[in-house]
Amino acid sequence: MFRPILRRGLGSAFARRPAAVRSYASSSNPAFQWEDPLGFKHLLTEEELAISETAERYCQEKMAPRVLEAYRDEHYDQRILEEMGDLGLLGATIQGYGCAGVSSVAGGLITRAVERVDSGYRSAMSVQSSLVMGPIYEFGTEEQKEKFLPEMAKGRLLGAFGLTEPNHGSDPGSMESVAKPHPTKKGYYSLSGAKTWITNSPIADVLLVWAKLQETGKIRGFLVERKDCPPGTLETPAIKNKNGLRASITGMIQLDNCPVPEANMFPDVEGLKGPFSCLNSARYGISLGVMGALEDCIARARTYALERKQFKGNPLARYQLVQKKLADAATDVAYGTLASIQVGRLKDEGKATPEMISMVKRQNCDAALRNARALQEIFGGNAVSDEYHIGRHVANLFVTQTYEGQSDIHSLILGRAITGIQAFV
């Protein structure tokens, strides 16, 4: 039995306060830890360490045994979100409304633990926590917060985030989805349009859809409740036969004059600021999440290299080219994790910029994909068997490099900040 690791409703009781870093006994002869090469754990508070350790235990004991079948069958077990909810892992950085109110770093350590098992499991959780609960908390009315957040924190109400459209991915500002006053229902908008590649959409109860208000042409956020949609106005078909992120469920959102109460629109936020500000939190989580996936690749490749013998009975780990792959990957994990912790600390102090988050999202996703692909080679032909898990991580990490701003798009964000010149168009 796992007890809730996060006390609900404690607000700032966790690590938003100045960090109480766990002190370690000084040693005249410290040993190098290949699992944490630069000692990032020395930067964590007691609470963050406890959260990280318990999340790791839940993920390894409860999630990991399910992942192979889930990936093979392209099946997402919804009970996972309820289990995470029971442990207080959903919307964990939110203050109040049944959420734990932990630091951004602690939130990132949860994504790291989940993604060590599978990026698809982490995606389902990130959408719930950062892309639906996050904006409701940031932009919603008090009524919207009271109505949705406590049930979402328990994992009993499931969310999806609809920004990407079939014709507009990297350029969401050109979206075609539209909201106009409903022709017959007073106090309602009518939403029409199509969203694609939407995590959780086929099973979501509440779908946060971004659409342009016809009267102003400005993007607004609408909370579409599936249970209230008349037949034929909302369809969410699954996109099947993916070759990555198969342990999560992905689909479309098709809206045909779907009536949505005005009370379900975010009242004030307009334009891309709405979707982009919640993407910032999700991207931060990804930056630490992908480090978890790469850590799993390193651990598996190291074990394999120590056990597999080729040429005169030597383990693969004896060869320089194999050692270099492990050294490259361990170095990138160590640097990437430290960078994310620094950005998380600045985020909680209100000093992080979107460009900093673009930098760690891009760098860590690129590094995780590049190194996972290199480590895959250590497994030789066995890499092709899903039982070795490395191929699953590689396929997943392609997606993490692509969604929430493809890496080249983040280069353009950074390039604009460095030169002052916009290179998107």
Q: What is the chain's alpha carbon radius of gyration, rounded to the nearest angstrom?
A: 22
Residues with Cβ within 8 Å of residue 88, at least 6 apart in sequence: 4, 5, 6, 7, 8, 99, 100, 153
Question: At closest approach, how far in Å is the CB of 170 from ligand FAD?
Answer: 3
Q: Closest CB to ligand FAD among 27 and 241?
A: 241
Q: Which of 161, 189, 266, 304 binds ligand FAD (CB under 6 A)?
A: 161
Q: Closest CB to ligand FAD among 252 and 260?
A: 252
Q: Catalytic residue at 82?
A: no
Is residue 406 within the footprint of ligand FAD (CB under 6 A)?
Answer: yes
Is residue 163 within the footprint of ligand FAD (CB under 6 A)?
Answer: yes
Is residue 54 within the footprint of ligand FAD (CB under 6 A)?
Answer: no
Is residue 250 within the footprint of ligand FAD (CB under 6 A)?
Answer: yes
Q: Answer whether 263's CB lies under 8 Å from 151's CB.
A: no
Angstrom CA distances, 274 to 25, 174, 266, 351, 357, stand at 46, 15, 9, 19, 16
Q: Which of 60, 170, 310, 385 binds ligand FAD (CB under 6 A)?
A: 170
Amino acid identity at 184: T
Residues with Cβ within 8 Å of residue 56, at least 6 apart in sequence: 113, 116
- Catalytic one of 56, 165, 295, 404: 404
Q: Could you count the other beta carbons within 10 Å of the beta carbon of residue 178?
A: 16
Q: Closest CB to ligand FAD among 164 and 371?
A: 164
Alpha-carbon span 47 to 397, nearest angstrom:
29
Question: At closest approach, how far in Å is the CB of 380 from ligand FAD?
Answer: 28
Is residue 127 within the footprint of ligand FAD (CB under 6 A)?
Answer: yes
Q: Between residue 177 and residue 216, which ones bind ligand FAD under the rule CB under 6 A?
A: 197-199
Q: Which of 37, 96, 169, 181 binds ligand FAD (CB under 6 A)?
A: 169
Is residue 164 within the footprint of ligand FAD (CB under 6 A)?
Answer: yes
Amino acid identity at 29: N
Q: What is the DSSP string of 63-132?
A: IHHHHHHHHHHT---THHHHHHHHHT-TTTTSEETTEE---HHHHHHHHHHHHHH-HHHHHHHHIIIIII
Q: Answer whether 137's CB lies under 8 Å from 262's CB.
A: no
Stretch in the footprint of ligand FAD (CB under 6 A) among 87-95, 227-235, 304-312, 402-410: 402-410
Is residue 277 within the footprint of ligand FAD (CB under 6 A)?
Answer: no
Catalytic positions, written as ranges: 404
> Which residues make up the interface to ligand FAD (CB under 6 A)?
127, 161-164, 169-170, 197-199, 245, 250, 399, 402-404, 406, 408-409, 424
